[in-house]
Amino acid sequence: MLTTRQPVLHRFWYPVMPVALVEQGPQPFTLLGERIVLWKVADGGYAAMADRCPHRSAALSKGWVDGDKIVCPYHGWAYDGAGACVRIPQRPDSNGLRGTAVKSFRCEARYGHLWVALDEPLSAIPDWSEEKDPGYRRIDQFYERWNCAPFRLMENSFDNAHIHFVHRGTFGDINDPNPPLPTIERFDYGFVARSDLRVYNNALQKKNLHDDSPFTVRHTTASWYLPFLRRLHIRYPSGLDHIIVTAATPIADDACQVVQFCFRNDIEQQAPAADIIAFDRKVTEEDRAILQGTDFDVPLDMNSGVERHMPSDQPGLLMRRMLLDLLAAHGETEHTRHYVSSPPHATRGEVSASYADGGVKGS
C-alpha cells in the first residue's frame, strides 16, 4: 500500500510534533506528502495549514508569528489561524484580500504533541486517563524519522515472534522462538491484543523494574488504532505499569515520523526517566535496523504471493484485512506497485483470511 495515494488516510488524527518545538516559532512538517506549517496563535491555541503562500509559493514556515497572524517572509502577506489572508502590505487599502487564503487543517494539542487531521476525522484522538492521573507520569521518549512504511512499524509492534530474534540483545530469549498467540478483540477502528510473554531481564531492566530475577513475565494489552497508532500496556508481576504509546506518523510512502512517549506508575526516584529511555532506546534501535531494510510498499492482499505468512502473523494479517475493509468502505482500492488491486467489494481468499480471523472476537 502506498500511503500517500489513499485519501481515506487523511481522515485520521496523527501526532506530528512536540508542542515545545512549536513554542519556538513556525515549524514545517510533511504529513502524507502534504507540506504543512504549525504555529502558535496569540490566544494560546495552535494552527496547521499548507506551508505555501499563494502569492509566490514561499514557505510560511520560514516566516514569523505576529500576534494572531503568521507572516510570509517573502513579501509580508499575513494569514490568520483559519488560513485567511488578513494583510497585504503592498495593498494597504485591503484590495485583493478577498478570496486569498491558505488551506487550513484541524489541529489539537494532546499529550504534549500537536495532532493534525488533513480531512474530517473518522475517529477521535484516543483518551488515555493516565495523562491526568496523579499516580502516573508521562515520559516523552522519541521524535525521529524512520525510513520505513508506517505499517511496518505497526505490524512489528504486535509481532510476538520477532521479539526473541530482533531483541535477543535486550529482552528476547532466542531459545523460546514460538510465543503463544494473543487473544484479539476488534473495535470499530482497531483491536486489542492480549498476551503473556516470558522475557529476559537484563541488568538495566533489573534496575528499572526493581527485580533481580533473570526472567520476568510481561502481561501485555496492546491496542491498535487505525491506521498507525499503538498503545502497549505492559504490567509486570510487581504491579508496575509501563505503557508505551507509539505513532508511526506517515510522512511519505517510504518514511514515517516516530512519536513515542510512555506512562509509568512509579516516580523519578525509583526509576530515572533517563534509564527508562535508555532501555527503550536500545529496543527501538534494534527494530529500526530491521524495518528500514523492508519494502515500504506493504501488500495488503494476503493472497497476492508477494509475502508469505505464518500463524503468529495473525495481528498483522488482521491489520491488513481491516485496512482493506476501510478502503472498500470509502470506495477505494489499494494502491501498490506489486499488483493490480481488486475492486472494493471483491471476495478475498479463505486460506489467508483464516489466519487473520483466528481467535478474534467481534470480527
**Tens-of-pLDDT digits for all 363 residues of the chain?**
999 999 999 999 999 999 999 999 999 999 999 999 999 999 999 999 999 999 999 999 999 999 999 999 999 999 999 999 999 998 877 766 778 899 999 999 999 999 999 999 999 999 999 999 999 999 999 999 999 999 999 999 898 887 777 776 776 666 777 777 889 999 999 999 998 776 656 565 655 666 666 666 778 899 999 999 999 999 888 889 999 999 999 999 999 999 999 999 999 999 999 999 998 898 898 999 999 999 999 999 988 999 999 888 999 999 999 999 999 999 999 999 998 876 554 444 333 444 556 556 664
Other beta carbons less than 10 A from residue 252's beta carbon: 18
Q: Torsion over CA of 160, 231, 155 and 13, rounded to 10 degrees?
A: 180
How far apart are alpha carbons 236 and 240 in whole angstroms? 5
**CA distance linking residue 266 with residue 96, whole number of Å:** 58
Q: Which residue ranges form the domains of the chain, and what is each CATH number?
A: 11-117 (2.102.10.10), 126-363 (3.90.380.10)
329 Cβ partners below 8 Å, 6+ apart?
none
Find where cell 509501563 sits: 242
User: Amino acid identity, residue 170?
Assistant: T
Positive or negative, the CA dihedral 229, 146, 207, 268 is negative
Contacts with 282 (C-beta within 8 Å, 6 or more apart), sequence order: 169, 170
3 φ, ψ (degrees, to nearest 5): -60, -35
Q: Residue 229 and residue 190: Cα distance in Å, rounded?
A: 9
Contacting residues for 346 by C-beta, under 8 A, at least 6 apart: none
6: DSSP letter: -
| Three-state secondary structure call for residue 34 | strand
pTM for the predicted model, two decimal places: 0.89
